[in-house]
Amino acid sequence: MTTMLTRSGIPLVLAGALAGCHASEPYQKPVTPVMLEQVRAEPTASTRRYSAVIEPANRIDVAFRVGGYVTSLASVGGRAIQEGDAVARGAVLASVRAEDYEAKLGQARAAVAEAEAARGAASQVLARAEALHAARSLTKPELEQARAAVASIDARLSGAQALVREAELARGDVELKSPISGTVLRRTIEVGSLVGPGTPAFTVADASAVRVIIGVPDRMLGRFRMGETERVSADAVPGRRFDGRITKVSPSADQRSRLFDVELTVPNADGALRPGMVATLDAVQAGEAGTREAITVPLAAVVRGDGGDGYAVFVVEDAQGGPVARTRAVRLGDLVGNRIAVLGGLAEGERVIVRGATIVADGERVNPAP
């Protein structure tokens, strides 16, 4: 017997087939792997982190003493000297046109020669006057007049000789020399530039030692004493710490920030620290080292609280389906190295997510790493 499908039965068959095609299992997010740490209270110190821009210990703006047109720049490797080049003390960095100063030097020397000739003639006149006065053939006023003439010419000669020395100095200053050995940080002139006396042309820095100047509040000032050694680090030089000696403690606070400047000088023979890098110093407040216990967690464990207010961590609790992450609001304290003290919200023995905290949510199952 043949079974016939009626027109009214076709939609029911199609609907059932379509429903079967679209039926699927609900999506389940994979369990997030995390790393845990069981927290405990331990002795801590009140630590402050200070940052400062590294500066060369000796930095000089090199300027011309005389003006003129720049005719040459020092050559380094076949090119004009530029930022980053090393220079030795006394090296000629640039020169201005010397002809103008040679002409002035020539004029000064001619004035000296003229004064010397006049001095010779006046000396002969004075000698004759003294002889005549001794023979009672010349009055004393006439003798004094001859002596005054010699004295006047002597003064003129001294002035001309001073002009010669000044012109010689100016002639020597057409060459701009580096006063220290170091590195060129800046060059502001080109060949053909017109410069005046005092125009800074180069900035040269000796970075064999660098300075780190931090601002500290009054309650931390007793922590820093002249001559003591502190350790600093720089993110640009990972894995290294540098010993710096305190070479200056400001006697008064800045009027606006109310902070005291503390200067550290750090040896930098290998040039690892460069001007412009940022150095950091972790300092323990005087008298507080090891005086109290607190729970600490890595900085990576701390996240923003719900709604962006405050801070929180994720603790892991055992549930029926497996370990679950739970948000826990916390109150934070001082930095302790790369960790931070938790003053409230956690208890000893709880397990905190220290890796993976930024990719889990409250109530989510997690897979703790062994």
pLDDT in tens, 310-360: 899 999 999 888 999 999 999 988 777 678 889 899 999 999 999 999 999
CATH number of 49-55+206-284: 2.40.30.170
pLDDT at 39 over 60: yes
Range 171-174 contact pairs with CB under 8 angstroms and sequence separation of 24 or more: 171/98, 171/101, 171/102, 171/104, 171/105, 173/64, 173/65, 173/66, 174/66, 174/68, 174/95, 174/96, 174/97, 174/98, 174/101
Q: According to the model, what pLDDT value does residue 267 have?
A: 95
Q: According to the model, what pLDDT value does residue 337 have?
A: 64
pLDDT at 24 over 70: no
Q: According to the model, what pLDDT value does residue 88 have?
A: 93
Domain ranges in the chain? 32-46+291-368, 49-55+206-284, 60-96+174-203, 99-172
- Name the β-bridge partners of 242: 232
Average pLDDT over residues 24-32: 72
Instruction: Using CB atoms within 10 Å of the CB of residue 72, give its burial: 0 to 12 exposed, 13 to 18 middle, 19+ buried.
Output: middle
Q: According to the model, what pLDDT value does residue 201 have?
A: 94
What's the CA dihedral at 153, 159, 164, 167 to 10 degrees?
A: -150
Helix axes 140-172, 99-134, angle to 10 degrees: 160
Q: According to the model, what pLDDT value does residue 370 have?
A: 67
Residue 228, CB-side half-sphere exposure with 13 Å CA sphere: 10
Percent of the chain with pLDDT over 70: 88
The mean pLDDT of the chain is 84
Q: According to the model, what pLDDT value does residue 17 have?
A: 45
106: helix, strand or coil: helix
Q: According to the model, what pLDDT value does residue 2 have?
A: 41
Q: How confident is the model at residue 50 (pLDDT cuts 50, 70, 90)?
A: confident
- Count the Cβ atoms, other than its own, within 10 Å of residue 237: 14
pLDDT at 1 over 50: no
pLDDT at 246 over 70: yes
Q: What CATH architecture is 60-96+174-203?
A: Beta Barrel (2.40)
CATH number of 32-46+291-368: 2.40.420.20
Per mean pLDDT, which range of 38-52, 221-235, 272-286, 312-326 is the poorest?
Answer: 38-52
- Give the tens place of pLDDT for each residue, 126-136: 888 888 878 88
- Give the tens place of pLDDT for each residue, 174-221: 889 999 999 999 999 999 999 999 889 999 999 899 999 999 888 888
Q: What letter does residue 104 receive in the DSSP assignment? A: H
Which is more confident, 106 or 89? 89
Percent of the chain with pLDDT over 90: 43
Q: According to the model, what pLDDT value does residue 345 have?
A: 92
Which is more confident, 5 or 113? 113
pLDDT at 18 over 50: no
Q: According to the model, what pLDDT value does residue 164 have?
A: 84
CATH number of 99-172: 1.10.287
Which is more confident, 319 or 285? 319
Instruction: Using CB atoms within 10 Å of the CB of residue 266, give its burial: 0 to 12 exposed, 13 to 18 middle, 19+ buried.
Output: buried
- Give the tens place of pLDDT for each residue, 77-95: 889 999 989 999 999 999 9
